[in-house]
Structure formats: C-alpha cells, structure tokens
C-alpha cells in the first residue's frame, strides 16, 4: 500500500470516528433571498400552513421587521397562491416595499394584488395607495435604475401609473383625480395636446360630478392656451381654447374662475387679431391684395376693439380703392 493510500484511509477513519455537526446551510429562494435553514427541518419563520405563515408575516410587519415580513408574505404567495390568505400576503408585500421607501416596487406589487385578487376587501385602499405613490413621482421623485440607483424623473412613467389606477377602477374614489393628474403630467412634458385629451376625457367621463367636470374643462382650456403661446403659434389652437373656455362659462356660469376666463378669452382674441394682422401685412407686402383684405377683415371679426382694428379698417379702405382702380 502506498503512502498516499494510507493517508486517505486515515482521513476517512477520522471523519467516521469523530462526527461533528455542520452549520446550517445557506439557501437561496427566489423572492426570499439568502437564508440559513437547519438540516432536516424548516426555519423558525417558515410554517407549514398558509394561515400560520401569514400570521408570521403580519406579526413581523407590525413590529416593523420588514425584511422578515417580506420573506414570510412572499412565501405565502409562492407556496399557497390559491389560498384565502394569498391576497392579504400579496398586499403585505406591497406594504413592506412602501414602508421601506421602495415606492415604484410597491406600486407594482399593489398592481399584482389588483390583477390577481380583484375581490380583496382592501381594493379601494390599494388604489388610494397607488395614487399617493404616483403623486410622489408627479412631484418630481426620481425613478430608480434596477430598483436601487436614482436615475431620473419621468412624467411618461408617471402618467402610465395614473392610467393604471384609472383602468383598475374607472369609477373609484380616486379615479377622477387620477385622470386629471394624467393631464398634469402631460403638461409637465409640454405635451399640451395629450394633456387636453386627458382633461377632455375626465370632463366627459365624470360629467355627473360637476366639480370634477368643471375642473377638467377649465384645465383643458388652459392647456390649449399654453399651446397657443408656444413658438409654433397656431390660430386654430387659440380658437379651440376660446371655444373650450366658452363651454366652461356656459356650463358653469357660477364658477369663481369665470372672470379670469373672460380675461383669458379677451387676451386670446387680441392675439388672434394680431396674428391675422401680421398675415395681412405679409400678403400686402407681396401685393396679394385680395388675400390681405381677407385677413384684415379677420382682424375685425376676431376682435373689433383690438389695437389692430383701427389700422385694419384703414388698410381695408385703401386696398378696396386700389382694387377698384385696378379693375377699371
């Protein structure tokens, strides 16, 4: 027998003759993370019944032991997904993330509750929690890269959050405000046309709620007005703003914002008059007399009392004489 064989036999004999207890193995479970678990049994936090497992999660959550609560709640959902205790466990998963400041993750976990367990008693509360989370991001909170690294604020993703809330419960307590917030998020993107669509949808869908509908219609008018003030000035946008504000005043004549709305309409009409006056001057410069007459007349139609109206009347008289002379 070789010397190496002797060593191997002695080592084997020592291991068999003097057994020892090995430490608890390190085990990884998806959704639970790394845990130590005794051989031949389950850990102290792991239970063999769904109810008992949920009790562990709830007790840990109440003690603010969020890491343990999260593991225990996730185990209920994974091991007993069809049990009566799974909805509350999934709700606790969202609560754990929310309590630890992982709001985007909490929103997603709450969404799972809504989609998987729509009959849960806390349905309205969950929508409210999603709404409050979305408000944080509307206020400028940064989304996180890979769930950990603050990366950027995003009104696009914020609007998507609110849209999910509305789809989850279009006639819930928070849905009307969530629909309005979609418009607010689009305005922050300077996407005024999308903002108008969001507000108009709110005004139409919640027409039986005067306070919401009035707010939505007024904001739609403001969004049109903001769009009209951009570099890409469009006469038709100003007209849409005027029409929307006019509808607002007609439907809600007692609203406290009516006087301000009237001032905005006056300003918009003045701007329309200015735009038409400039267009008329352009046509006149290139001796397009008929075209110039059309736009000078538009000045008078849009706002006969504007600062441009007097000169527009003078130019109309001059151009009419010129065209009459030319026709002879």
d(CA 245, CA 218): 7
pLDDT at 153: 86
CB 239 within 8 A of CB 253: no
pLDDT at 312: 81
pLDDT at 7: 54
CB 128 within 8 A of CB 174: yes
Per-residue pLDDT band for 292 (boundaries 50, 70, 90) equals confident
CB 253 within 8 A of CB 296: no
Mind giving me the DSSP string for 176-227?
Answer: HHHHHHHHHHHHHTT-HHHHHHHHHHHHHHTTTSHHHHHHHHHHHHHHHHHH
pLDDT tens string 304-313: 887 888 888 8
Specify the long-range contacts of residues 169-174, CB closer than 8 Å, at least 24 apart: 169/123, 169/124, 169/127, 170/205, 172/124, 172/127, 173/124, 173/127, 173/128, 174/127, 174/128, 174/131
Single pTM value for the model: 0.77
pLDDT > 70? residue 269: yes
Per-residue pLDDT band for 6 (boundaries 50, 70, 90) equals very low
d(CA 265, CA 193): 19
pLDDT at 27: 53
Lowest mean pLDDT among 28-37, 89-98, 257-266, 306-315: 28-37
Which residue(s) pair with 229 in the sheet? Answer: none
pLDDT > 50? residue 24: no
Specify the long-range contacts of residues 49-54, CB closer than 8 Å, at least 24 apart: 50/76, 50/79, 50/80, 50/83, 50/84, 50/85, 50/86, 51/85, 53/79, 53/80, 53/85, 53/89, 54/85, 54/88, 54/89, 54/92
Lowest mean pLDDT among 91-105, 165-179, 196-210, 312-326: 312-326
Strand positions, DSSP E, the chain: 26-29, 33-36, 143-145, 149-152
pLDDT tens string 29-71: 544 444 444 444 445 899 999 999 999 999 999 999 999 999 9
d(CA 100, CA 92): 12
Task: Give one word for 129, left, alpha or beta, with left for phi > 0 and alpha for psi -120 to 50.
Answer: alpha
pLDDT tens string 137-188: 999 999 887 666 777 889 999 999 999 999 999 999 999 999 999 999 999 9
pLDDT at 101: 93
Percent of the chain scored above 90 by pLDDT? 60
Closest to 312 measured CA to CA, from 270, 288, 280: 280
pLDDT at 25: 52
**Radius of gyration of the chain, Cα coordinates, nearest whole angstrom:** 34
Average pLDDT over residues 219-229: 92
pLDDT > 80? residue 4: no
Per-residue pLDDT band for 19 (boundaries 50, 70, 90) equals very low
pLDDT at 77: 96
């Amino acid at each position: 027998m070789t010397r190496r064989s002797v060593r191997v036999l002695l080592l084997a004999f020592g291991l068999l003759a003097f057994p020892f207890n090995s430490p608890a193995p390190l085990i990884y479970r998806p959704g639970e993370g790394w845990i130590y678990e005794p051989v031949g049994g389950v850990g102290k936090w792991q239970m063999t019944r769904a109810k008992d497992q949920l009790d562990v999660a709830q007790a840990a959550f109440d003690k603010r032991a969020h890491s343990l609560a999260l593991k225990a709640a996730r185990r209920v959902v994974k091991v007993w997904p069809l049990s009566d205790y799974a909805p509350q466990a999934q709700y606790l998963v969202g609560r754990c993330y929310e309590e630890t400041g992982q709001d985007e993750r909490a929103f997603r976990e709450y969404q799972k509750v809504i989609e998987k367990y729509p009959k849960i008693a806390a349905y309205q509360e969950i929508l409210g929690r999603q709404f409050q989370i979305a408000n944080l991001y509307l206020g400028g909170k940064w989304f996180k890269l890979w769930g950990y690294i603050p990366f950027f604020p995003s009104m696009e993703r914020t609007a998507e959050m609110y849209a999910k809330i509305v789809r989850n419960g279009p006639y819930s307590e928070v849905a009307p405000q969530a629909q309005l917030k979609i418009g607010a998020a689009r305005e922050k993107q300077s996407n005024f046309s999308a903002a108008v669509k969001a507000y108009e949808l709110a005004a139409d869908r919640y027409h039986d709620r005067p306070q919401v509908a009035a707010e939505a219609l007024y904001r739609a008018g403001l969004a049109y007005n903001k769009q009209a003030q951009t570099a890409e000035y469009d006469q038709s946008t100003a007209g849409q703003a005027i029409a929307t504000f006019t509808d607002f005043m007609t439907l809600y004549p007692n609203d406290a914002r009516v006087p301000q709305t009237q001032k905005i309409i006056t300003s918009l009409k003045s701007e329309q008059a200015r735009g038409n006056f400039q267009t008329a001057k352009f046509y006149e410069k290139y001796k397009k007399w008929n075209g110039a007459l059309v736009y000078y007349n538009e000045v008078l139609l849009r706002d006969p009392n504007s600062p441009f109206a007097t000169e527009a009347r003078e130019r109309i008289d001059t151009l009419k004489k010129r065209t009459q002379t030319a026709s002879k």
